[in-house]
Amino acid sequence: MRHLLSTADLSRAQAIRVLDVAEDMADVATREVRKLPTLRGTTVVNLFYEDSTRTRISFEAAAKRLSADVINFAAKGSSVSKGESLKDTAQTLAAMGADGIVLRHPASGAPRVLADSGWVDAGVVNAGDGTHEHPTQALLDAFTMRRRVHGAGSRGRDLDGLRVLVVGDVLHSRVARSNAWLLRTLGATVTVVAPPTLLPVDVSRLGVDVRYDLDEAVAEVRPDVVMMLRIQQERMHEAAFPNPREYARLWGLGAERFRRLPPHTLVMHPGPMNRGLEIGDLAADSPRSTVREQVANGVSVRMAVLYLVLAGDREDPS
Amino acid sequence: MSTRTVLSQADIARALTRIAHEVLESNRGPEGLVVLGIPTRGVVLAERMAATLSSISGVDVPVGALDVTMYRDDIRRHPTRTPQRTSLPPGGVDGATVVLVDDVLYSGRTIRAALDALGDHGRPRAVRLAVLVDRGHRELPIRADFVGKNLPTSTSERIYVRLDGVDDEELVAIEGGADS
């Protein structure tokens, strides 16, 4: 893998390979020495044009567990606020010897531009671009589902037949987009549930079923997984729903609705949660919630991605 | 290119049995032994050896697999390899006498990586090395404690180890070489 830009690029075999390597990486956390020497002498730059403490820390922990050197570059208060372009920033970092660039950018497609432009030789990992994709989040979600469903026998398995409900702000959610593509590649069926104002115009391109009524969807789909998306208030320039209380009542996973889920249904949320809006305390803190597991698995999955992108011969990747 | 079989299935079985006896002799019994195979074929050999050790001594000898992919010194010279599973016996390796098992000992670099990997899992009392074939050409100061067969080779030759459980035949063969 030369870069990781989109889950739409991943074949089923490639996706399973990432998840299997992530299983090995998760085992490292249980050992006496929780570190591998694999990326010693390699430099990874976290180039973040948007605030994201969780994703940045997760990538930083992953790179450090593989013994890479990590440079964190936050655009705020940097040369970027003086007007430096992505090209110049990236080339500056490359001149300092960056082997891998983990890029979070508000413009959809920025990681693809950086990877294809020839500006730098470094491996590029998309850590979220605009309202487009967040591939490592989708991979860690798939990893979490696979572990909950198949347990210790997860290696080599896909998510065939799993029914996943993705609920909420699909329009602004790169998590939803990356998940829709990856979960389908892995054999799951994905249904999105959202108010019509929070669905993209091109929703058919996601290859998912679309529903507008959450209670109806739960009753008819009988989902194995319910993934609640965060209401991204920072991206809502227009009023997508009348008020938060109405949203919580119709599309939130409150106590009442959580009790009506099938007893085996997992509750996922990419975090950070808006408690009381898209998810209630009962659902968020229940043993069927995977929110904290998702965070732990995030480190393992990002280790796997950094390993596959950066460890081998970059001229001859496979 | 000529291919010559140097060990048959029966030869391999005899070598493993002899090595098992030697391991028990040098360890003065099965106490504290842990057998760890290096994937892929070292794991198959380790499992067979542990079974033989257990049947000779009447004590269950723990066995596991130790992957060294992440510890190799040539990792950046090859396309990214998919690591294989490491599984240690529940008792771990602290204070144990670990017998590392691999199919072919050549440069010694795999064993160097295995020693580093092992150190990250705990602190064994001692580490021994058992190999089915030692073909020479060491690049590091490493030697095997137990050897199935010494095979002097030239570097232009290739050694093939085929084992039931991984391959559909079982033998050790030499291919090629400048003189053939």
Is A277 found in the same domain as A143?
yes
Closest C-alpha to B74, from B132, B130, B113, B35: B113
Q: Which residue of B has its CA nearest to A303?
A: B70
Is A183 found in the same domain as A252?
yes
**Higher pLDDT, residue B178 or A57:** A57
Question: Which are the contacts of A14, defined by CB distance < 8 A and separation ≥ 6?
Answer: A1
**Higher pLDDT, residue A223 or A77:** A223
Residue among A2, A18, A33 with most chain B CBs within 10 A, to mutate: A33
Is A99 found in the same domain as A13?
yes
Q: Is B64 a member of any domain?
A: yes
List CB contacts (< 8 A) between A32 and chain B: 120-122
CA distance A287 to B134: 53
Q: Is A233 a member of any domain?
A: yes
Q: Is A166 a member of any domain?
A: yes
pLDDT of A236 over the 70 cut: no
Q: Is B167 a member of any domain?
A: no
Share of chain A above pLDDT 90, in %: 81
pLDDT of A77 over the 80 cut: no
Cα dihedral A29→A33→A38→A44 (10° resolution): 70
pLDDT of A235 over the 70 cut: no
The pTM score is 0.92
Share of chain A above pLDDT 70, in %: 97
pLDDT of A56 over the 90 cut: yes
Is A278 found in the same domain as A207?
yes
Closest C-alpha to B143, from B111, B175, B167: B111
Cα atoms in the 13 Å half-sphere on the side-chain side of B45: 35
Given its phi and psi angles, is residue A97 left (phi above 0), alpha (psi -120 to 50 degrees) or beta? left
pLDDT of A78 over the 90 cut: no
CA distance A2 to A11: 14
Given its phi and psi angles, is residue A271 left (phi above 0), alpha (psi -120 to 50 degrees) or beta? left
Reported as a pLDDT band with limits 50, 70 and 90, residue B178 is low
Mean local confidence (pLDDT), A30-47: 93
Q: Is A78 a member of any domain?
A: yes
Q: Is A1 a member of any domain?
A: no
Given its phi and psi angles, is residue A238 left (phi above 0), alpha (psi -120 to 50 degrees) or beta? beta
Q: Is A317 a member of any domain?
A: no
pLDDT of A46 over the 70 cut: yes
pLDDT of A27 over the 50 cut: yes
Is A163 found in the same domain as A284?
yes
3-state secondary structure of A29: coil
Domain residue limits at B126: 9-74+86-153
Q: What is the pLDDT of residue A82?
A: 76
List CB contacts (< 8 A) between B83 and chain A: 21, 24
Mean local confidence (pLDDT), B57-79: 94
Q: Is A318 a member of any domain?
A: no
Q: Which residue of B has its CA nearest to A18?
A: B82
Q: Is A2 a member of any domain?
A: no
CATH number of the domain that B114 lies in? 3.40.50.2020
**A35 close contact with B: CB closer than 8 A:** yes
Task: Give B11: exposed, middle or buried? Use CB within 10 Å, 0-12, 13-18, 19+.
Answer: middle
Q: Is B137 a member of any domain?
A: yes
Q: Is B163 a member of any domain?
A: no
Q: How many domains does chain B have?
A: 1
Q: Is B133 a member of any domain?
A: yes
Mean local confidence (pLDDT), A79-88: 83
Among the residue ranges A15-24, A69-78, A149-158, the one predicted with the least confidence is: A69-78
**CB within 8 Å: A32 and B121:** yes
Q: Is B145 a member of any domain?
A: yes
Q: What is the pLDDT of residue B118?
A: 96
Single-letter amino acid code for the residue at B127: V
Element (H, E) at A189: strand A189-193
Choose the most confident range, by mean pLDDT, from A114-118, A237-241, B113-117. Answer: B113-117
Q: Which residue of B has its CA nearest to A309?
A: B80
**CB within 8 Å: B80 and A308:** yes
CA distance A173 to B21: 63
Beta-bridge mates of residue B128: B99
Q: Angle at CA B108, nearest 5°, toward B104 and B109?
A: 110
pLDDT tens-digit readout, B97-148: 999 999 999 999 999 999 999 999 999 999 999 999 999 999 999 999 999 9
List CB contacts (< 8 A) between A311 and chain B: 75-76, 80
Q: Is B40 a member of any domain?
A: yes
Q: What is the pLDDT of residue A74?
A: 87
Is A162 found in the same domain as A178?
yes
Is A36 found in the same domain as A122?
yes
Q: Is B162 a member of any domain?
A: no
List CB contacts (< 8 A) between B86 and chain A: 24, 27
Å from B68 to nearest chain A CA? 10
Residue with tokens 């460890």: A311
Q: How far apart are the first and last CA of chain A?
A: 6
pLDDT of A121 over the 60 cut: yes
Helices (H), A151-213: 174-185
CA distance A293 to A144: 7
Residue with tokens 């796997």: A304
Q: Is A304 a member of any domain?
A: yes
Mean local confidence (pLDDT), A23-49: 93
Is A139 found in the same domain as A284?
yes
Q: Angle at CA A99, nearest 5°, toward A93 and A105?
A: 55
pLDDT tens-digit readout, B12-67: 999 999 999 999 999 999 999 999 999 999 999 999 999 999 999 999 999 999 99
Domain residue limits at A43: 7-133+296-310
Is A231 found in the same domain as A124?
no
Is A271 found in the same domain as A147?
yes
Helices (H), chain B: 9-27, 41-57, 109-119
Is A237 found in the same domain as A154?
yes
Q: How many domains does chain A have?
A: 2
Single-letter amino acid code for the residue at A81: S
Q: What is the pLDDT of residue A185?
A: 97
Is A63 found in the same domain as A91?
yes
Reported as a pLDDT band with limits 50, 70 and 90, residue B180 is very low
CATH number of the domain that A38 lies in? 3.40.50.1370
Q: What is the pLDDT of residue A303?
A: 98
